[in-house]
Structure 1
Amino acid sequence: MAGLRVTPARHQGRERLYVTLPDGTSLAWYDREESRLSLVRPDREGDVLAALAPYVTGEVTVGPPPVPTPAELDRLSLHPDDDLAPNRPGEALYADLDAVPVSAAGRLLHRDARQDALAAQRQVGEVLDGLEGAGWRVLHAVPLPGAAFIDHLAIGPAGVLAVRTLSARKQRVRIADPMVRLGRSAPVPHVRWARRDAERASLALAVAVAPALVVVGPSRLETPASPPGPPDVRVLRDDELGTLGRLGGVLKPADVESVYAAARNRNTWIRA
């Protein structure tokens, strides 16, 4: 409509386009960052859009921003130091690697083992992060009291998983609950530790958490034939992780966001 004016301005650090009548009466404003149009006079929507057409490209959302959910409000109020979402896969191992000198042979082997563990956690973390499009939210290196960590916490339609990562590096892996034997090395109770991580996560989050053990790069993975693997622990090769994206039926999207909002708060884990 002829006569409407479009004036650029900044409001609280955001760039807006204000649409007004010639006498200065405000009809609407357009937020360029959100591509959202807020109307003061809804009956003039067509005129406002026509006036903005030379200044706007792409789709325009008309109406106020959606009301934040309780989970979003919790996230907005979370102090950055308490937010676990920025944690990288294997976050706890970076400092350990820096602290291990590369001098004696024993220390060098210890460093190599930590590097393999870090590479495995990064590989698993990358796959889990890729499940976001299937409705999953993921946290890495979740700290527990006593200097312990949950490698990955996956929250999605299939429920909540406490994921423990095991680097196999082309070795034969044999699982005999609760022990896991890697190559010719001595058995280690990884299955028991996976259960313990899930139990502590369930206590902290007040929801059911299932344990999962992801074996990265094994030449062969042997589990008990009946049932296949420990009955309560999901055992997966790293190339089977993508199957989680096809599972569902446990948590609705709103429940996923609610659990994720609690899980990303460092203070949640104090009682784990």
Structure 2
Amino acid sequence: MRRLRVIPTAHHGRERLYVCLPDGRKIAWYDRQTARVNLLSEDEQESVLAALAPYLTGQVAVGPPPVPTPAELARLALHPDDDLAPNRPGEALLIALDRDPAPPARLRADPRRNALEAERTVGGCLDLLEGAGWHTLHSVPLPGGDRVHHLTIGPSGVYAVHALYARKHRVRITDPLVAVGRRAPWPLLRLVRAAADRASYALTAEVRPVLAVVAPSRLETPAAPRGVRVLTEADLGGLAREGAVLKPADVAALHAMARDRNTWARV
């Protein structure tokens, strides 16, 4: 039996143990998250399992690496410059603030910073759904300078989520108008619906609009807005508890399409 080396690594956030020959060539790896030993050479199975024995717990599957799905192949073929998945919550605002920071002597607070706080808060809540089979993209650019604040895709569907800063302010919604504190009402729900409609066109799938109101002192909706979910950031986790309408393969395929910047060039 050959003497093999076991090398721990992190791969896209997953811990893996690679099994290598003395010359450094990899012949297998153990993925702790999936409890699977992937063999590049079935002839080495006995040696590989012996080398991994101190690290294996419970039952594990053993076999050749799984065949990549069409979504995985699309991701591998995607140029890094066109991949929207690395975008941080509020990515567009972060870039704008870096390029044009507000002057220090400015009397009024820069509204972009409040908007950034809202997008970071909402984005953080949506990112927590990832373990439940969800994928969220942030700051998805649309032609004309518009964007979808957050596009979240999961078993219960696809949602275009718009983050609204309202800390310690009363928010009153009378479709299509939204009033925050003493500010004059403006037709925000039209923008929220328009972003979802454009996303539906780009993905050829139903995308439902959501307005996520961050930290309001009170949220008033005398009548339910037409076709728009209005939630606070604390309610966003409820999206994962709704009935499933998409299979995991559908979620993966829509995510692969949505993360490609070129998908949005035609809307």
* TM bucket normalised to smaller: 0.7 to 0.9
* Residue 8 of structure 2 is aligned to residue 6 of structure 1: no
After TM superposition, the score normalised by the length of structure 2 is 0.84
Gaps of 5+ in 2: 8-16
How far did 1:52 drift? Answer: 2.7
Q: 3-state DSSP class of the match of 2:186?
A: coil
Structure 2 Cα separation of the partners of residues 178 and 251 of structure 1? 30
Q: 3-state DSSP class of the match of 2:55?
A: coil
Q: Per the alignment, do residues 49 and 84 of structure 1 end up closer, same or farther by CA in structure 2, a change over 3 Å counting?
A: closer
Contact 2:179/2:186 (<8 A) preserved: yes
Q: How many residues are treated as equivalent by the alignment?
A: 248
Structure 1 Cα separation of the partners of residues 215 and 196 of structure 2? 23
- Counterpart residue identity of residue 179, structure 1: L
Q: Which residue of 2 aligns with 1:151?
A: 149
Alpha-carbon displacement from aligned partner over 1:182-210 (angstroms, at most 9, x marks no partner): 11111111111100000110111111111
% identical equivalent positions:
52
Q: Which residue of 2 aligns with 1:24?
A: none
How far did 1:86 drift? Answer: 0.4
Structure 1 Cα separation of the partners of residues 200 and 52 of structure 2? 52
Structure 2 Cα separation of the partners of residues 53 and 120 of structure 1? 46
Structure 2 Cα separation of the partners of residues 84 and 51 of structure 1? 41
RMSD: 2.5
How far did 1:170 drift? Answer: 0.8
Give 1:77-226 correspondences, 5 Å limit.
77-98=77-98, 99-103=100-104, 105=106, 108-109=108-109, 111=110, 113-225=111-223
Q: 3-state DSSP class of the match of 1:207?
A: coil
Structure 1 segments, 4+ long, off by >6 Å, are: none
* Residue 252 of structure 2 is aligned to residue 257 of structure 1: yes
Q: Per the alignment, do residues 185 and 53 of structure 1 end up closer, same or farther by CA in structure 2, a change over 3 Å counting?
A: closer
Alpha-carbon displacement from aligned partner over 1:58-95 (angstroms, at most 9, x marks no partner): 25642111000000000000000000000000011112
Q: 3-state DSSP class of the match of 1:155?
A: strand
How far did 1:266 drift? Answer: 0.2
Q: Per the alignment, do residues 197 and 57 of structure 1 end up closer, same or farther by CA in structure 2, a change over 3 Å counting?
A: same
Structure 1 Cα separation of the partners of residues 145 and 64 of structure 2? 45
Q: Which residue of 1 aligns with 2:20?
A: 17
Who wins on radius of gyration, i.e. which is larger?
Answer: 1
Q: Per the alignment, do residues 64 and 53 of structure 1 end up closer, same or farther by CA in structure 2, a change over 3 Å counting?
A: closer
Q: Which residue of 2 aligns with 1:40?
A: 42
Structure 2 Cα separation of the partners of residues 102 and 50 of structure 1? 62
